[in-house]
Structure 1
Amino acid sequence: MYKIMIIEDDAKLREQMSQILSSYGYQIVAVQDFHKVEERFQESKPDLIVLDINLPYYDGNYYCRIFRRHSKVPIVITSARNSDLSQIMSIELGADDYIVKPFPVELFTTKINAMIRRTYGDYAQDTLSIRNEVDYKLVAGGLRLDEKSFKIATNNMVIELSKNEFKLMKVFITKANEVLTREELLENLWDQSDFVDDNTLTVNITRLRSKLSELGYDDCIKTKRGVGYVFDI
């Protein structure tokens, strides 16, 4: 049974989330004492966190940053803040997804179930078995992508990628010089592009471009306006 930690100060919404996710068989840890959020996180060791932004004492972005110092647990932000800047900030701090309130129940449960499935379920298990069979690296134009460590390297430098950055980089390397639509990239990241904010892809592309630039590969992810991207290397 997967354990989900809900950090939401609206008691009614917190209870609704708890009931909905419990009906899917998840074990729920609902934070009510916001003086002890970090302590509850350390004690409960959740498999996924649902995190609000507007919280007492410290906001959700603060906790997102704190959690990322200790864990790679999936973090799904739920917030009434619908600006691009707010979503970009949360993802930059380590969130895996961002759902704008108010949201349909179906959207919420689909995203949570998909995140659990990708991280711990069939897809994750398939990937794990492949990694156990062979420790190989994908190579393109002097770049080496390590599937075990999520690191990308040149002869002189190594940079660690986030889970989503790694997924994007893997697609770009395996389909170098091919035009990839935004829909194809979204499907590789979240399996169902219908339930993903297009802005989230843009944020991850921007972060990946920045890391490639650090390695000396400037402007190798080119935008094809109205279509998508091409990894030109």
Structure 2
Amino acid sequence: MKDFWSYDKDDILKKLDTSESGLSSKEADDRMARYGKNVFKETKSGSNVMIFLSQFKSPITMILIFAAVLSIFMKDYSDGMIILIIIMISSFLSYLHESKANDAVKRLLSSVSVTSSVLRDGAFKEIDNGNLTIGDIIRVKTGDMIPADCLLMEGNSISTDESSLTGETFPVEKVTTTIPANTNLSKRKNSLWMGTHVMSGSGKAIIVNLAKDSEFGKITSSLSQKDADTDFEKGIKDFGNLILHVTTLLIGLI
């Protein structure tokens, strides 16, 4: 749900078709079937060996490897070894960069707590975070991790640590007033964000966005994606392909 911080309590309850007494177990199960579980989509990452080998797929790299092998075959060992060393160093640095991105995703996902106090069937229960759904009302207190993006309904001097999202180290005091839709993330003081935790106070909040649609989820998704090639990198690849085709043609003619 977009711009949920611009809604007041009554509007958000109506929008999400729920009430202050929370959802029933049956309604929660129906919503989980409709929206999915409150978990991140598991992405399979390749083994370290495959990640390392993928660094050699560039046309320029393949040409350099061929040149190094040819130099060694022609007994020009110094040139061949220098080329191979440069290729290995470059590939190793690229491998480290990609591995660190994968590790960062795992650390972010492991920082989310396991259970939350949720209002179901008129009573608060400890429920696995994966079984939370849109419209659930949760109770949070000092030390709790926020399990999904929520709108604060009631607050008692509640403040949260949002450094994982904004980089701001100071606690953010939360209020229940509505916030304009175009407000920056760091100033949406009526919202609780997945992956942050409560520094002090307590409160009740309604879940609006699940893991995959949360701000926390956007960060993990961006870390999982490979950086887009720059214009320079695209130009190098195109140039490498051109050289590869010309070299192949000349070898065939010779």
TM-score (norm 1): 0.24
The higher radius of gyration belongs to 2
TM-score (norm 2): 0.23
